[in-house]
């Protein structure tokens, strides 16, 4: 079902008037994690003012270590839904377990599957019936074929609204956090009709590389970008402050991107 052979035309996912796929660039921006109602409200206002369409933020965080901040949970879903509503943005948040799919689907417009869960097949099956679009991140050691098979689980469950996300893979290089595989963008678009989103934040792990790799992703044909932005990155509650743009950098990037691709 994910293959172009099966479905020659691009899939366009329409959510409350925003089209994802089929030529228009969609920008999703926001913090790694929802930290407080004030924080997500302020950042939502900045994403909207810069021209973004979707507010990102994790309420449940997949942390490498069990003692790190794990997210504010269901409260965070509520805070984010309120901020999205107030500022006229769609919302995207990560869901980590099948048990939380229903509650996340109640509050968010798009559900994100993180890189560590790309092959959590019970989660994928549950997302097949959740009724909300899904952004499926490529596992950091997954091949294109494995990513497309993971998408297949969601599609086969009855949910046609799946976006594929390149977020960097693990290579021998350790200057960057991951290696953003730009080739994934045209390859996935050739193999599949599903929209392809690039995440230059996790893809590089370094703030100064986000802008060039965002532009490169758009030049390579990405249907959208998901970018971390924080008002106070040095004090962010996850380690992802080092890859988060300052609000003025985020706004400047979106202005530049308008030269490269029409923003919805």
Type and span of the H or E element at 257: helix 247-260
| Out of 48, 177, 202, 215, the residue judged to bind ligand PEP by CB under 6 A | 202
Q: Which of 29, 114, 195, 224 binds ligand PEP (CB under 6 A)?
A: 114
Which single residue brings its beta carbon nearest to ligand PEP? 114
Q: Considering only residues 115, 120, 192, 198, which one is a binding residue for ligand PEP as defined by CB under 6 A?
A: 115
Residue 114 interacts, among Mn ion, ligand PEP, none and using kind-specific CB cut-offs from 5 to 8 Å, with ligand PEP
């703030």: which residue's tokens? Answer: 207
Nearer to Mn ion, 2 or 169 (CB): 169
Phi, then psi, of 200 in degrees rounded to 5:
-75, -10
Handedness of CA 161, 164, 167, 172 (dihedral sign): positive
244 backbone φψ class: left, alpha, beta (φ>0; ψ -120 to 50): beta
CA distances from 174 to 115, 121, 169, 230, 236 (A): 18, 30, 11, 24, 23
How would DSSP label each residue in 192-213?
Answer: B-S-EEE-HHHHH--HHHHHHH
Report the nearest approach of Mn ion to the CB of residue 83 (Å).
18
Write the interaction track for ligand PEP spanning residues 50-89; mark x where CB under 6 A is met and - where it is not. Answer: --------x---x---------------------------
Interaction mask 222-261, ligand PEP, x per CB under 6 A: ----------------------------------------
Q: Which of 26, 28, 32, 148 binds Mn ion (CB under 5 A)?
A: 32
**Smallest distance, ligand PEP to C-beta of residue 233, A:** 13
Length of the chain, in residues: 264
Closest C-alpha among 3, 13, 4, 19 to residue 162: 13
Per-residue contact string for residues 16-45; x = within reach of ligand PEP by CB under 6 A = ----------------x-------------
Binding-site partner at residue 115 among Mn ion, ligand PEP, none, CB < 5 to 8 Å by type: ligand PEP
Interaction residues for ligand PEP, span 142-171 (CB under 6 A): 167
Q: CB of residue 112 vs ligand PEP: minimum separation in angstroms?
A: 6
Binding residues vs ligand PEP (CB under 6 A)? 32, 58, 62, 114-115, 137, 167, 202
Residues making contact with Mn ion (CB under 5 A): 32, 240
């Amino acid at each position: 079902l994910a293959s172009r052979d099966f479905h020659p035309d691009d899939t366009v996912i329409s959510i409350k008037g925003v089209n994802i796929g089929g030529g228009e660039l969609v920008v999703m921006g926001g913090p790694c994690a929802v930290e407080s109602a004030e924080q997500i409200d302020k950042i939502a206002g900045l994403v909207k003012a810069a021209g973004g369409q979707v507010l990102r933020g994790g309420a449940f965080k997949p942390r490498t270590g069990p003692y790190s901040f794990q997210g504010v949970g269901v409260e965070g879903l509520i805070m984010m839904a309120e901020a999205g509503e107030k500022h006229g943005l769609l919302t995207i948040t990560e869901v980590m377990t099948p048990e939380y799919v229903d509650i996340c689907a109640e509050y968010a417009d798009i559900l994100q599957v993180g890189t560590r869960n790309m092959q959590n097949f019970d989660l994928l099956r549950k997302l097949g019936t959740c009724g909300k679009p899904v952004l499926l991140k490529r596992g950091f050691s997954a091949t294109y074929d494995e990513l497309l098979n993971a998408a297949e689980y969601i599609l086969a469950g009855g949910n046609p609204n799946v976006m594929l996300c390149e977020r960097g893979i693990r290579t021998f290089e350790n200057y960057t956090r991951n290696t953003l595989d730009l080739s994934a963008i045209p390859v996935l678009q050739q193999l599949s009709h599903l929209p392809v989103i690039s995440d230059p934040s996790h893809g590089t792990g370094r703030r100064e590389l986000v802008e060039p790799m965002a532009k490169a992703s758009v030049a390579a044909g990405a249907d959208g970008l998901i970018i971390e932005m924080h008002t106070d990155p040095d004090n962010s509650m996850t380690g992802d402050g080092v890859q988060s743009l300052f609000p003025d950098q985020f706004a400047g990037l979106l202005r530049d991107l308008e030269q490269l691709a029409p923003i919805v």
